[in-house]
Structure 1
Amino acid sequence: MKTHVRGRWLLAAGSASVLLLSVGSSASASSFPGLASVTPQPAPVIQAADGWHAGIPPIATPWTGKVTPSNALPEYPRPQMTRSRWQNLNGVWEFGKAAVGEAVPAGKTLGERVLVPYPIESALSGIQRHEDRMWYRRTFTVPAGWKVGSGNRLQLHFGAVDYDAKVFVNGAQVTTHRGGYDGFDVDVTGALTASGPQELIVWAEDLTDATGQPIGKQRRSSDHGIFYQGSSGIWRTVWMEPVPAASITSLQLTPSVSGGNLKIKVNTAGGTGLSVRAVARGGGSVVGAADTLLTLPMPHARLWSPDNPYLYDLSVDLLGGGKTIDAVGSYFGMREIGTAPGADGKLRITLNGKILFNMANLDQGFWPDGLYTAPTDDALKWDLEQDKAMGFNAVRKHIKVEPDRWYYWADKLGLMVWQDMPAANTGPIPLDWRAQFESELHEMVREHQSWTSIVAWVPFNEGWGEWSRDDTGRIATEVKAQDPSRLVNAHSGVNCCNSHGDSGAGDVIDFHQYLGPASPAPSGNRIAIDGEHGGFGLKTSNHMWFGDGQAYEMEPDSPTLTSKYVANQEAVITSATYCGISAAIYTQITDVEAELNGFFTYDRQVAKMDLRKVRAINQKIIKTADGSGANVPQPPAGTPGLTGIAFWPLDGSYGTLKPVGDAPFVAGHSGQAVALNGGYLDAGSPVLNTASDYSAAAWVKLDKADGAFQTIISQDGPTNSDFYLQYSGADQRFAMSFAGVRALAPAKPEVGRWYHLVGVRDTVKGELRLYVDGQPAGTASACMPQAAPTGNTVIGRGKYGGNQVDFLDGTVDQVHLYDRALTADEIAQLYSSGQ
């Protein structure tokens, strides 16, 4: 991501000086590895006069008007396994709504026209509405030179159909398929007529979020929040090609930099006793049995990296009876993903044996004109070019699987990809859908295991669809067994939302924090990453899907937005230095519908930040976060004894505290105490130095313990409290917390019972600790250094997002504050003393 790709400097709306990349046209196929042998043949075209008209999207991209019936994604769709003869079946098809149990409309003209492969809800499809069930129909002619039936077979390929599909050729059902993100193919030779037009009909059903199927962020109707318009039916290229009776079906390519070789498996069908010959241009070659794992030597290989994304051409021949019976072109990059300790001893991500921080952009893969399908190949590439130009070296493909050409461009441009499995709905996947989810996950890995750019698999996001922590761990372990060559991130955002907690499986500990960044620390055998952070937003008139929207924090103008981004990314360096995170993922490349937190508007027409400054800070992160770590200074000894630097017995007197609102004295744990329900006590100044170690202790009795947060002791910061000794309503447990980080007690407290709580901030160990009734109760990694205090210490409320929040509904007594981290023995003594 360090090179500038076809860039030019422009002045965008709002007078922000930004870097944009020209749309331009694709380079020729022959200029790219693996595509030299491709000679695309245009599909037969049904003209617009036959009834197709594009819809009008709420906002349009620079490519919307370039889509016509004759050029609907005409590029060869499978860059890693190319053949010279093929025919694209994209274009205008007949379309009709399907009823349950309806007979196949063989020989019948359907009443509407749809442009394939754009999902039917999209403007580019021409339908622009959802249907639960649908028919597609067209005819095709097999080119005479293909000699199908005299040794050749005709393969029909579908890039993806969402969600259930049945395929009919000349009225005969030839295959069915379930799954919206994986491709499928079928040999249709036996269903062909002797000559002339052949009828092709596809039935599709997509109930989206009404079932337990994997859907990513699709919903039948947008919630104007973080979920978006669904995409039903055919949404990737449909095409066909002749193949020999014995043919190559797929390639499995696994580079080993440390081993100096490429592991290759050539999968075949239709023959026995076949052999293969694989030759890497500029590298080695190997001959061996088909359908077995072979080793192709690659000594002194030129390595692939974001700075130098070098790809090798690969030719593969299938041999039988002493001659070549099938041949395909491909390519690969020599790169190896791993982990190693940095100079500070913390485990980090390596590329080709060297520590490399993954600075990634979150990519949802939605388009205002094509929804799940980019309008053109140039558009598909453009987003990735922007990532590169902005100084990112990685992309998180967020709960969506893209067409193969997206991964080809990531390979070609030099972007490391963290690939999510599309989630089901946010609740637990129903029991009868769990096997399907796992099947689609493993199929995603199988179909994408040869892409150079993919460095990690992510089965779950924020607990969406997760049904048990043990099964999450099992699934991650199974994915790792399927593909040991990549990292497995069992659960992105394991600290968030619907998560069942850390399974301990996989290679990664991943926290989300908005605005963040998150700051988990690696364990002995797992690296740590910030899986999502940021989300700063800006409204851009005439470039918003709904005419309005929101983000995690809205900014008034482009300079402020840029400044917020740069400051937030500086904190990423701190998190990498102090905590040892190996990657950070910012939200996000573009606005999507009502989410306005993109670098670009949803229509890709306006850049919202000064992208020169974006590039500079991103490159600084990659260069600086090199695993050298930080020397954490030893804090001063602090004030000895168990009284502390502040002690408020609250025994009939507020002492130096000022009551705000209702704060009466009542019977306490020892003598009297203060009852709070909307009121609080204010110390009038910051008592604790939050830049060093500290501890806070109090007796508390809750009047309620429900889903609302309640803060016992905190200290105001500029936006959020510096810390919270609290009852966490989200977890229904006591906690010692920072915003986004909680050291939690193991069980829910009882209402009406006195508890002794102590929260400890330990800067040397980089953690928060919670003690309940004199015993250790919870620990959380909190390695980020804190700033000097800016606000008052308060008892009975917190501060979040600039607002006073989380008022205590209960009684507090015997409050102590310490300018050091109390030991476990001291805390036990304090509890025993009753004070």
Structure 2
Amino acid sequence: MTTPRTARRAVTAVAVALLAIGTAGAAGVAPAAAAEPQWHKGIPPLATPWTAQVGPRNALPEYPRPQLVRGRWQNLNGVWEFGRAAVDQAPPVGQPLGERVLVPYPIESALSGIQRHEDRMFYRRAFTVPAGWRVGSGQRLMLHFGAVDYDAKVWVNGTRVATHRGGYDGFDIDVTDALRGTGPQELIVWAEDLTDATGQPIGKQRRVSDRGIFYQGSSGIWRTVWMEPVADSSITGLVTTPDLAASALRLTAETVRGDGLTVRAVAKAGGRVVGTVTGAAGTELVVPVPRAELWSPDHPYLYDLEVTLLRGRTAVDTVTSYFGMREIGKKPGADGKLRIALNGKILFNLATLDQGFWPDGLNTAPTDAGLKFDLQQHKDMGFNAVRKHIKVEPDRWYYWADKLGLLVWQDMPAANTGPIPEAWRAQFEAELHELVREHRSWTSIVAWVPFNEGWGEWDREATGRIADDVRKQDPSRLVNAHSGVNCCNSHGDSGRGDVIDHHQYLGPASPAPDATRVSIDGEHGGFGLRTSNHMWFGDGQAYEMEPDSATLTRKYVENQRAVITSARSCGISAAIYTQITDVEGELNGFWTYDRQVAKMDLRQVRAVNREIIARADGSAGNVPQPGPGTPGLTGVAFYPLDGTAEDAAGDHDATLVGGPGYVDAHRGQGVALNGSGQFIDTGAPVLNTASDYTASAWVRLDKADGAFQTIVSQDGASVSDFFLQYSGADQRFAMSFAGVRALGPAKPETGRWYHLTGVRDSVRGELRLYVDGELAGRTGACLPQAAPTGNTVIGRGRYGGNPVDYLDGAVDQVHLYDRALSATEIKDLYASGQ
């Protein structure tokens, strides 16, 4: 039989008291030929503290589905037979395979014992049915696969019982009808994983690591394989959604052959019953939770849940679970900007980027203690959130996030970085919705992230539609349509979802929220440090390498304090630092890839992180209003450039540098500049960049190619405070800060005079560009600027401490203002010809 995707039921995690259940599972009976050859653990390039603990009797023995628990189960992890497979090769029924692999570690990993890639493979083992269960008992035997990457086929006793496509979701198989009456049963799995040779969702996996941001792939079985006997009518899944307004839990018990049966649900707190409900199976029930104790990162309180399927008064199936009472949403802060709220209170989400890779197990953590370690470090370092980056973890990872108290931003694993081929797009969307379906009851997950930096995006409108579809599927969480919408392969902002998400290295990013969407820094940081004998390739890189731990810590603290500024001035609701551990060639972790060495002073890390959460909540109020400035359209400085560089409005007379000359210009005379070393220096910082200001000029370009040209700027210590410029990268006029541009609509013509006005508006947190009196472009620029340090100049900029971007053309009628001119004033200035 084939198990359709919709038959897959959520595999989830459980209360701490149930963690020991896994020890009751038998290891299974090895095939007759298992004694020869033997399994041997490989040697990983780096060993974690848990590598030595892994062996045939300790291959992830814990109960794998803690949100839907039954007492009887049997773990099939351990040593299996293994062999390379060919396309359409018949299953090796009754035929021993020549190698041994430790399941559930991907075959490329050292822990698997194979430690190489195969496009196609067979797994084979024998098993016996759980003790006390027998064929014909009226019960069913379910076989569960946590995940197989990527395409899978399964045979039991020579009968094909399932096919499945998708490397990050699980599947369940009723194998009852394929079982023999007694004795050992044969289980064979075929898997195919072509990784980045197809359009399949792969996350960061590649067949060959690029020693950069992509890593060694993981193929085959990589999560726990297990069995459980169930009643003929049974519970297959629990969908739980807390409803704080109603002081209740909304619960649907999904069943098989449950028509006409009823469900009884009992919620408990510390063994005390707090709410009970009974209703029809498969319908939404409301479990009362009066005076609910709310779940939060500082108080991750979890209720126990017992659900029984009844035929009349007779219980036919019982499962245990748990839930947390929490609500994620949006609300305006004291500054009026929309922000993320947990349980109705604004809470800044401070996270790391968590890739979920391991040097010994690759996609699979070596042990449950290792799986917990990364999340525990988040808590110990003062974070309250984690972004699970384009990977989906085993259910126990989300259990630990629930138990420890971490807000999870869950990514969908990306396909290749280019547009997903049309033939694979429906598959991507199907796997995305399966991700949401399987994980919709985790307390810790607060946001879904369909796309990262445009990887796989094929159309901006399609991205918006996909975000809407996820929202319809799960209206109880935030939807972040595209993390890093400002970056890389992004097709631009679709305007959909609940989040505006920018990436900036080293950052932090500072997008502003709008009327319906909060804003976050989706990735920033990336400071690195080499740690001898703890590097995957013996070397690596980061966005900025530091010489020692003290410098790395200082850079982190300084960078994180800037998050507070971004939160207060711009209104970001979250910041995500790259990253929790080194990964292969990336050396920008708090910990080395082997989790052996902490690279920063974690006490300082915790202190600044807690400071951010306490201070970056929008309680600071609105940005201070700038002063009114000097009235009128003359400005604080005015350079008519009619045969002289004198300031006609003040005392900042300018000097011509490099020998430019006066020429007939837009109105009277102007100054011609040759694009190479010629500019006009006002001799002072005319504009107070810590407040609002405006710069205006008439300009004629003599060339308009890929080179930048600056009309007016003011020198900063290393980079100009602002640029009124021609952007060669865009071949349009712009009002810019470094990395931020308000762009004009079209490429300018050479030889034509244009009137340009650039406005810095700190109240609205933006830059605006006007061309010939009309608004041409605007962009968010909400971070406060420092006080001026260098001269205002005409005809060049500064970048990296050097003079750059000389104007090749002519300039006339330069005005500088100590306020943000209004649109009407700019139109009047243009009309005046000045």
Q: Structure 1-normalised TM-score? A: 0.91
For 2:98, the equivalent position in structure 1 comes to: 111
**Partner amino acid for 1:612?**
R
SS in 1 for 2:472: helix
Contact 1:649 1:813 in 2 (8 A): no
Seen in structure 2, the aligned counterparts of structure 1 residues 94 and 748 have a Cα distance that, compared at 3 Å, is farther
Q: Is the 8 A contact 2:645 2:655 kept in 1?
A: yes
Q: 1:696–1:725: 8 Å Cα contact kept in structure 2?
A: yes
Q: Using the TM superposition, give the Cα deviation of residue 310 of structure 1 relative to its aligned residue in structure 2, in angstroms.
A: 0.9
User: SS of 1:146's equivalent?
Assistant: coil
1:529 aligns with 2:520: yes
Shift of 1:305: 0.9
- 1:326-725 aligned at under 5 Å gives the runs 326-647=317-638, 673-677=671-675, 679=677, 681=679, 683=681, 685-700=684-699, 711-725=710-724
**Aligned residues of 1:48 and 1:69 also touching (Cα < 8 A):** no
Q: For structure 1, which segment, 105-114 or 283-292, has the greater mean C-alpha deviation from structure 2 after superposition?
A: 105-114
Structure 2 residue 263 is matched with structure 1 residue 264: no
Question: Is 1:145 equivalent to 2:112 in the alignment?
Answer: no
Cα deviation digits, residues 594-641 of structure 1 (max 9, x gap)? 222111111111111111111111111111223313343332333445
- Of the candidates 11, 16, 25, which is equivalent to residue 32 of structure 1? 16
Query: Given the alignment of the two structures, is residue 196 of structure 1 paired with residue 180 of structure 2, yes or no?
Result: no
* Distance change in 2, residues 1:201/1:617 (3 Å): same
Q: Equivalences for 1:10-159 in 2 at 5 Å?
A: 32=16, 35=19, 40-44=24-28, 50-159=37-146
Letter in 2 for 1:826: E
Amino acid at match of 2:689: T
Identity between Structure 1 and Structure 2 (%): 74
Please give the secondary structure, in 2, of the residue aligned with 1:145.
coil
For 1:197-246, what per-residue CA distance to the aligned partner results, in whole angstroms no more than 9, with x for missing partners? 22222111222222221111112222222222222221111111111111
Aligned to 1:779: 778
After the TM superposition, which of the residue ranges 768-777 and 49-58 deviates more from structure 2?
Answer: 49-58
Deviation, structure 1 residue 81:
0.6
Which is further off, 145-154 or 298-307?
A: 145-154
CA shift, 1:550, in A, is 1.9
Q: Please say if 1:162 is aligned against 2:149.
A: yes
Greater shift, 464-473 or 744-753, is seen at: 744-753
In structure 1, the residue matched to 2:237 is 250
Question: Distance in 2 between the 1:703 and 1:441 partners?
Answer: 52
Q: For the residues of structure 2 that align with 1:118 and 1:708, how far apart are their CA atoms?
A: 52
Shift of 1:82: 0.9
Asked if 1 retains the 8 angstrom alpha-carbon contact of 2:537 and 2:585, the reply is yes
Task: State the AA in 1 paired with 2:320.
Answer: G
> 2 CA distance for matches of 1:458 and 1:308?
25
* Equivalent in the alignment of 1:288: 279
In structure 2, do the counterparts of structure 1 residues 650 and 71 end up closer, same or farther at CA, with 3 Å as the change threshold? farther
After the TM superposition, which residues 219-238 of structure 1 pair with which residues of structure 2 at under 5 Å, given as runs?
Answer: 219-238=206-225
Change in 2 beyond 3 A, CA 1:591/1:757: farther
CA distance in 1, matches of 2:430, 2:364: 24
Task: Measure how far apart 1:704 and its partner are.
Answer: 6.6
Contact map agreement 2:332 2:338 (CA 8 A) in 1: yes
Q: Is the 8 A contact 2:258 2:281 kept in 1?
A: no
Comparing 510-519 with 67-76, greater Cα deviation is found at 510-519
Which residue, 805, 808, 811 being the options, matches 1:807?
805
Shift, 1:332, TM fit: 0.5
1:735-756: per-residue Cα shift (whole Å, max 9, x none)? 3233343323334445665543
Amino acid paired to 2:592:
T
Taking the aligned partners of 1:208 and 1:796, their CA distance within structure 2 comes to: 52
Q: Work out whether residues 305 and 323 of structure 2, in 8 Å CA contact, stay in contact via their aligned partners in 1.
A: yes
CA distance in 2, matches of 1:421, 1:712: 44
Distance in 2 (CA, whole Å) between partners of 1:608 and 1:553 is 14
Q: Distance in 2 between matches of 1:712 and 1:115?
A: 66
Secondary structure of the equivalent of 2:132? helix
CA contact (8 A) 1:39 1:84 kept: no
Alpha-carbon spacing, 1:271–1:258, altered in 2? closer, same or farther (3 Å): closer
Q: Which moved more, 1:79-88 or 1:811-820?
A: 811-820
Q: Do the aligned partners of 1:704 and 1:751 also contact (CA within 8 Å) in 2?
A: yes
Aligned to 1:8: none
Q: Alpha-carbon deviation of 1:654?
A: 7.5
Match of residue 213, structure 1, among 197, 200, 214: 200
Aligned partner of 2:310: which letter? L
Q: CA deviation at 1:64?
A: 1.5
Matched, 1:317 2:317: no
How many angstroms does 1:96 deviate by?
2.0
What is the CA–CA distance in structure 1 between the aligned matches of 2:363 and 2:804, rounded to whole Å?
40
How far apart in 2 are the matches of 1:767 and 1:660?
A: 32
The answer to whether the 8 Å contact 1:34/1:313 transfers is no
Q: Secondary structure at the match of 2:24?
A: coil
Q: Work out the CA distance in 2 between the residues paired with 1:706 and 1:319.
A: 76
Q: How far apart are residue 417 of structure 1 and its match? A: 0.6
Q: Is the 8 A contact 2:135 2:181 kept in 1?
A: no
Structure 1 position 652, deviation (Å): 7.6
Deviates more, 1:763-772 or 1:681-690: 681-690
Give the Cα–Cα distance (whole angstroms) in 2 for the partners of residues 130 and 826 of structure 1: 67
Whole-Å Cα distance in 1 between the matches of residues 750 and 138 of structure 2?
A: 79
Q: Secondary structure at the match of 1:473?
A: helix
Q: d(CA) in 1 for partners of 2:125 and 2:74?
A: 14
CA RMSD of aligned residues (A): 2.7
Aligned residues of 1:95 and 1:111 also touching (Cα < 8 A): yes
Q: For residues 657 and 57 of structure 1, what CA distance do their matches in structure 2 show?
A: 66
Indicate how the Cα distance of structure 1 residues 704 and 448 shifts in structure 2: closer, same or farther if over 3 A, else same.
farther
- Cα distance in 2 for partners of 1:552, 1:595 equals 9
Inter-CA distance 259–668: structure 2 relative to 1 (3 Å threshold): same
Residue of structure 1 in register with 2:5 after alignment: none
Distance in 1 of aligned mates of 2:736 and 2:805 = 15
Q: Which amino acid aligns with 2:375?
A: L
CA contact (8 A) 1:309 1:413 kept: yes
Counterpart in the other structure of 1:12: none
Which secondary structure does the structure 1 equivalent of 2:102 belong to?
strand
Q: Which AA in structure 1 matches 2:743?
A: L
Q: Distance in 1 between matches of 2:350 and 2:787?
A: 28
Deviations 1:306-331 (A, max 9, x none): 11111111111111243111111111
Specify whether residues 156 and 819 from structure 1 end up closer, same or farther in structure 2 by C-alpha distance, changes over 3 A only. Answer: same
State the shift of 1:497 in Å. 1.9
Contact in 1 for aligned 2:765/2:783 (Cα 8 Å): yes
Q: Partners in 2 of 1:560 and 1:753 — Cα distance?
A: 51
Using the alignment, how far apart are the partners of 2:819 and 2:593 within structure 1?
Answer: 49
Check whether the contact 2:149–2:218 (CA below 8 A) recurs between aligned residues: yes
Aligned-partner SS, 2:140:
strand
Contact 1:266 1:290 in 2 (8 A): yes
Which has the higher mean CA deviation after the structures are superposed, 627-636 or 270-279?
627-636
